């Protein structure tokens, strides 16, 4: 193979195999989904089960990572490309005040994606297939917006460009927060959800003015958290884990509680 072609092929393989950096990993998304499912109203629960039946499952945890999984499905490449920017919002100022035209160009970010898909899910004139797909996006994106680095302010692709050492390996900070930190508990999603649920209802952070758009507040909270999570020495040591795992747990609990509230409103009777 000519050298340039070989280089192009190697580059393609490298990019294709690059770890997905689009979300809490499957563990975090399933925990959020499971926490929410346990706190659904009877009407919302029935409607969720009705939609999930199309996919032959009864568990939101099973579908919570689908918006990431389509990345690897040859038949879903158009949808993946279209929805790829919807997993995050980058603030471009450390004051963490959301400015839509700056932080969500053309409405393509997680802050605007959530109400978009909630509207489809709530609309009983839509097909069940469309509403199930919207449900998958709502479950996933309400998880993502609570992952602090999915709504940070540094121009480093949500910590993807910030290298750290974790468990003797080089890794980026984004991946530590998507999956590395949570994996240190050594629990599966059900046991993890049991553990968080046993602490009772998640206390919610105090309101941030102007109060008109809760989704904006969720992103602004994430942005504020990112002020404190960049280790200056680029090392994820035990002290870092002890300090930050409770922060990650709180975000999972808040996401689970808020997801349940959103679904309970979107899926009220009729």
The correct pick among 28, 67, 148, 158 for binding ligand ADE (CB under 6 A) is 158
Site string for ligand ADE, 82-101 (x = CB under 6 A): ------x-x-----------
The count of C-alpha atoms lying within 13 angstroms of the C-alpha of 2, restricted to the half-sphere facing its C-beta, is 2
Q: Which does 90 bind (CB under 5 to 8 A by kind): ligand ADE, Zn ion, none?
A: ligand ADE
Catalytic residue, from 131, 150, 154, 175: name it.
150
Could you identify the residue written with the tokens 């069940």?
128
Catalytic residue, from 39, 66, 87, 218: name it.
87
User: Which DSSP category does 172 fall into?
Assistant: E
Length of the chain: 270
- Shortest Å distance, C-beta 18 to ligand ADE: 12
Closest of 151, 162, 159, 156 to residue 91, by C-alpha: 151
Q: Provide the token pair at 229.
A: 């999570």
For residues 241 and 180, give the distance between their C-alpha atoms in angstroms, rounded to a whole number: 10
CA distances to 13, 26, 81, 130, 253 from 77, in Å: 17, 20, 6, 17, 32
| Dihedral (CA of 41, 43, 46, 52) sign | negative
5 a catalytic residue: no
- Shortest Å distance, C-beta 152 to ligand ADE: 6
Site string for Zn ion, 114-153 (x = CB under 5 A): ------------------------------x---------
29 a catalytic residue: yes
Q: Which does 23 bind (CB under 5 to 8 A by kind): ligand ADE, Zn ion, none?
A: Zn ion
Residue 178 binds ligand ADE (CB under 6 A):
no
Greatest alpha-carbon span in the chain = 64
Q: Which does 178 bind (CB under 5 to 8 A by kind): ligand ADE, Zn ion, none?
A: Zn ion
For residues 249 and 182, give the distance between their C-alpha atoms in angstroms, rounded to a whole number: 8
Instruction: Report how many residues bind ligand ADE under the rule CB under 6 A.
Output: 9
228 a catalytic residue: no
For residues 158 and 163, give the distance between their C-alpha atoms in angstroms, rounded to a whole number: 12
Burial class (CB in 10 A: 0-12, 13-18, 19+), 264: middle
The correct pick among 20, 100, 157, 171 for binding ligand ADE (CB under 6 A) is 157
Residue 221 binds ligand ADE (CB under 6 A):
no
Residue 141 binds ligand ADE (CB under 6 A):
no
Q: What angle do CA 87, 183, 187 make, to 5 degrees?
A: 115
The correct pick among 90, 112, 178, 254 for binding Zn ion (CB under 5 A) is 178
CA distances to 31, 78, 79, 88, 216 from 82, in Å: 26, 6, 5, 13, 22
Site string for ligand ADE, 17-56 (x = CB under 6 A): ----x-----------------------------------
Nearer to Zn ion, 144 or 261 (CB): 144
Catalytically active residues, by annotation:
24, 29, 68, 71, 87, 140, 144, 150, 174, 178
Interface residues with ligand ADE (CB under 6 A) are 21, 88, 90, 149-150, 152, 157-158, 160
């Amino acid at each position: 193979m000519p050298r340039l072609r070989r280089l192009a092929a190697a580059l393609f393989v490298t990019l294709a195999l690059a770890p997905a950096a689009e979300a809490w990993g499957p563990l975090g998304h399933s925990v959020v989904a499971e926490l929410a499912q346990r706190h659904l109203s009877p009407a919302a629960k029935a409607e969720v089960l009705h939609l999930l039946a199309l996919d032959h499952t009864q568990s939101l945890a099973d579908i919570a990572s689908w918006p990431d999984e389509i990345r690897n499905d040859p038949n879903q490449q158009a949808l993946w490309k279209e929805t790829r920017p919807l997993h995050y919002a980058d603030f471009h100022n450390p004051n963490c005040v959301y400015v839509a035209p700056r932080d969500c160009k053309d409405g393509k970010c997680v802050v605007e994606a959530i109400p978009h898909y909630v509207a489809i899910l709530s609309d009983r004139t839509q097909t069940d297939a469309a509403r199930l797909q919207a449900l998958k996006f709502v479950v996933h994106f309400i998880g993502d917006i609570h992952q602090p680095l999915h709504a940070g302010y540094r121009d480093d692709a949500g910590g993807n460009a910030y290298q750290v050492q974790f468990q003797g390996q080089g890794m980026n900070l984004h991946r530590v927060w998507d999956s590395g930190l949570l994996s240190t508990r050594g629990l599966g999603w059900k046991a993890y959800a049991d553990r968080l649920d046993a602490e009772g209802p998640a206390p919610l952070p105090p309101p941030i003015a102007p109060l008109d758009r809760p989704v904006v507040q969720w992103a602004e909270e994430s942005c504020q958290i990112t002020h404190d999570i960049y280790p200056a020495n680029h090392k994820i040591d035990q002290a870092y884990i002890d300090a930050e795992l409770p922060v990650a747990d709180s975000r999972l609990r808040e996401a689970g509680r808020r997801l349940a509230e959103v679904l309970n409103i979107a899926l009220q009777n009729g």
